Amino acid sequence: MSLLLCRQEPVENPFYIEELGLYLYSSQELSYVIGNHPLLVMEGFVDDRLILFLRSELRMPFLAERLEKWIKGRGPSDELLFQILADCAYYSPQEQTKFRQQVTAFRKLAAHEYEKKRADYFYSLGLYGKAASMYERILETTREKGLSGDFKGKIWNNIAACYTKLFCFQKAMHAYDCAWNEDEKTEYVKRMYFLTRMQPGIAVKERYLEQMPDAAKAEWEPEWQAAGKDIQEKKEPDRESAESAVKTEAAVETANAGTMPKAEGDKKDGNAVSTGKEETGEIDAMEKIREIFAKDPIKRLAQAGSVVNQWKVEYRRMI
């Protein structure tokens, strides 16, 4: 592991990336985000706002002008990203080549596969509402293309995982029903059972209740219990926050080019799997609440309000 100290640049108005929830204060941080989040930056990332940031804040007018001329003459292109990486000189030529190859590989995917990759990526960021919309759009735009039942089943499964994360359990149940209609996998029935554990009394179609005999429930129970135990034993988050990775006035840990954030939840065979159990951040929040309630009434009220506001911000971001 090595450390790279970001150079200081006279940025007064940092560049905000809503999807990552962070501000960029240097050209190196911009390069880091591009190199590590290709599925974010490949669509609409280079726009007037970014060009203004390059010109006014990063003092890179020649790069900004080249990008403007390219967009006016040829339209949006991945070449814009490559130009930014080259001019910022954060990555070595070899790392830039690796990034170019990664982008090219994404572009060679069939349209529905590429869109699924992007939706999976946004799911991994915890943007469940956006990911659900992207998955649903895949089904709408490919309605007449004759996609396999297996693929559509996975899409519906991932929609269900998004709605589970958003506590929309009935919508999740409907999505699992659609997944089963496309591809009759026992896995989908098992996840319906997990939903009944999370939300007792949730409506389940009779045909699925028949596939949840006591023997099957007993077989699935260890997985349910293991998921809860695994969450309780976690001490550190699965995914280093993007903000800490690109922080301004501290050493930045270098990462392998193309590293993707780890999804919040298991993934099997391209499926996003949600058990609805508490994540590490939620456990930390509960510990914080216990600390708050151990304080005197005045401090307790003020800090509790701060925590609630933080939760509101995080939930708005998810949806």
Q: What is the pLDDT of residues 129-184, one digit of tens each?
A: 999 999 999 999 877 778 899 999 999 999 999 999 999 999 999 999 999 999 99
Q: Assign 9 a pLDDT band (cuts: 50, 70, 90).
A: confident
Give the list of residues 6+ apart from residue 62 with CB closer than 8 angstroms, or none: none
Q: For residues 82 and 96, is the Cβ–Cβ distance under 8 A?
A: yes
Contact 66, 95 (CB under 8 A): no
Helices 79-88, 93-107: axis angle to 10 degrees equals 170
Antiparallel, parallel or unpaired: β 15-17 and 22-24: antiparallel
One-letter amino acid identity for 15? F
Those residues with Cβ within 8 angstroms of residue 194's Cβ, 6 or more apart along the chain or in another chain: 220, 224, 275, 276
pLDDT at site 248: 34
Give this prediction's pTM: 0.74
- Tell me, what's the pLDDT at 300? 61
Q: According to the model, what pLDDT value does residue 249 have?
A: 32
* pLDDT of amino acid 18: 92
Structure confidence at residue 143 (pLDDT): 79
Of 21-25, 142-146, 167-171, 202-206, least confident by mean pLDDT is: 142-146
% pLDDT > 90, the chain: 64
Model confidence pLDDT, tens digit, residues 222-268: 999 887 776 666 544 443 433 344 443 333 333 333 333 333 334 44
Mean pLDDT to the nearest integer, 15-27: 94
